[in-house]
C-alpha cells in the first residue's frame, strides 16, 4: 500500500493497482457495500475492505486529501489499530493546502436503532464521542468511554486500541479471504473465557476505545469532520453507516461551514476545531 498526496478537495480516494483500468473509489458513506465485521467500500464492482482504521487515522491527524493505492482488495491490518498509520503520517509530516476546510455541524438530533443497539448525533460545539458496549463475555462486559475529540487525545488515548474478536470470528473472516494475516500480533483474540494475547491489553478499556476508533473512521466517510456529539450503545459499522445515511436525508439537521485557519475561526465562532493538519506525502 502507498499513501500519496492529493490536490485540495480530492478527499480520500482508494485505488486498486492490481486491477488496471478500474476507477478510484471515493471514501464516501454511500459507497459502503458491506459492513460484516469491517467496513467495505465498493464502486463499479470493485471493492476495498477494512478501510475504517486508516480512515480513522486520517481523521485523527486532520488529513483531508490523499490517494490510497493498494495491490489487493483489503487495507493491511497492521497491528490491528490505527497507531502504525498515525506514526507514518507523523514521520512524513503534513502540509496545509491553503484552501478552506469544511465542517459538518449538527443542528438537530438524528438517530437510528436496530434491536437494542442505537446511535445518535446531537448538536454540540465540538466533536464529542460517548460510546458504550455490553458483551456477555467475562473479559469484556460493559464498558463506556466519553471523549471530546482532538488530534492530541486521539493520538494518546484512541489510536493504539486494537481490534478484537473471538476465535470463531477470525476463522469466519479468513474463510471469506479477509484478515488472512490475522494473528495475536494484530488483534486481541478471546476464547470463551479470556484474552489469549500474552501481553494483555494496552488500556483497561481497550475494547470500547477500539469501537470509538472504528466509529471515527466510519463517520469520516462523510468526507469532512463532524461538529456534534456522537452517542452510541452497542453500535457497529452497519449502524454507523445507517446513521450517516439518515443524517444526509435530513438536510434541516445539519449545515456545512467553511473556515481558513484556527485563529480566524476562533474569533468568529464558538465551535471547537479538532485538527488542522493536512497530508503532504507519505509512503507506507
Residue range 107-156, pLDDT digits in tens: 999 999 999 999 999 999 999 999 999 999 999 999 999 999 998 999 99
Confidence of residue 275 (pLDDT cuts 50, 70, 90): low
Q: What is the pLDDT of residue 281?
A: 39
Residue 95 bears catalytic tag: no
Say if CB 227 and CB 104 are below 8 A apart. yes
CA–chain centroid gap for 116, Å, is 23
pLDDT tens digits, residue range 222-233?
Answer: 999 999 999 999
Give me the sign of the Cα torsion angle 216, 219, 222, 227.
negative
User: What is the pairing mode between strands 110-114 and 32-34?
Assistant: unpaired
Assess if residue 277 is contained within a domain.
Answer: no
Q: How many domains does the chain have?
A: 1
- Catalytic residue (choose from 53, 210, 229, 237): 237
Tell me which residue has cell 484474552: 195
Q: Does 278 score more than 90 pLDDT?
A: no
CATH code at 185? Answer: 3.30.1700.10
Assess if residue 278 is contained within a domain.
Answer: no
Q: Does 198 score more than 50 pLDDT?
A: yes
Rounded to two decimals, what is the model's pTM?
A: 0.90
Give dist(CA 90, CA 108) in Å, integer.
35
Using alpha carbons, select from 178, 182, 278 the residue that is nearest to residue 224: 278
Assess if residue 187 is contained within a domain.
Answer: yes
Assess if residue 284 is contained within a domain.
Answer: no
Q: Does 80 score more than 80 pLDDT?
A: yes
60-69, 98-107, 227-236, 237-246: which has the minimum mean pLDDT?
Answer: 98-107
Question: Any idea what DSSP says for residue 22?
Answer: P
Assess if residue 121 is contained within a domain.
Answer: yes
Domain membership of residue 91 as a residue range: 2-268
Report which of residues 195 and 169 the model is more confident about. 195
Assess if residue 279 is contained within a domain.
Answer: no
Assess if residue 95 is contained within a domain.
Answer: yes
Q: Does 180 score more than 60 pLDDT?
A: no
Amino acid at each position: 500500500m502507498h499513501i500519496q498526496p492529493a490536490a485540495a478537495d480530492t478527499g480520500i480516494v482508494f485505488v486498486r493497482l492490481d486491477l488496471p483500468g478500474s476507477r478510484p473509489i471515493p471514501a464516501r458513506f454511500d459507497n459502503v457495500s458491506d459492513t460484516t465485521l469491517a467496513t467495505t467500500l465498493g464502486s463499479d464492482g470493485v471493492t476495498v475492505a477494512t478501510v475504517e482504521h486508516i480512515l480513522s487515522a486520517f481523521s485523527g491527524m486532520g488529513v483531508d486529501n490523499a490517494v490510497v493505492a493498494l495491490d489487493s482488495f483489503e487495507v493491511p491490518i497492521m497491528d490491528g489499530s490505527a497507531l502504525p498509520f498515525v506514526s507514518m503520517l507523523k514521520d512524513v509530516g503534513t502540509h496545509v493546502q491553503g484552501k478552506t476546510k469544511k465542517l459538518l455541524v449538527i443542528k438537530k438530533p438524528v438517530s437510528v436503532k436496530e434491536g437494542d443497539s442505537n446511535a445518535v448525533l446531537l448538536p454540540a460545539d465540538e466533536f464529542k464521542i460517548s460510546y458504550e458496549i455490553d458483551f456477555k463475555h467475562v473479559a469484556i462486559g460493559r464498558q463506556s468511554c466519553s471523549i471530546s475529540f482532538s488530534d492530541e487525545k486521539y493520538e494518546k488515548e484512541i489510536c493504539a486500541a486494537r481490534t478484537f474478536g473471538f476465535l470463531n470470528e477470525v476463522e469466519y473472516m479468513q474463510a471469506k479471504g479477509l484478515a488472512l494475516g490475522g494473528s495475536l500480533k494484530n488483534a486481541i483474540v478471546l476464547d470463551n473465557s479470556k484474552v489469549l494475547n500474552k501481553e494483555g491489553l494496552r488500556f483497561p478499556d481497550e475494547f470500547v476505545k477500539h469501537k470509538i476508533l472504528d466509529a471515527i473512521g466510519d463517520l469520516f466517510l462523510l468526507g469532512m469532520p463532524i461538529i456534534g456529539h456522537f452517542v452510541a450503545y452497542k453500535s457497529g459499522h452497519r449502524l454507523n453507516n445507517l446513521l450517516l445515511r439518515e443524517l444526509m436525508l435530513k438536510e434541516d439537521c445539519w449545515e456545512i461551514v467553511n473556515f481558513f485557519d484556527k485563529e480566524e475561526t476562533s474569533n468568529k465562532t464558538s465551535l471547537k476545531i479538532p485538527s488542522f493538519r493536512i497530508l503532504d506525502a507519505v509512503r507506507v
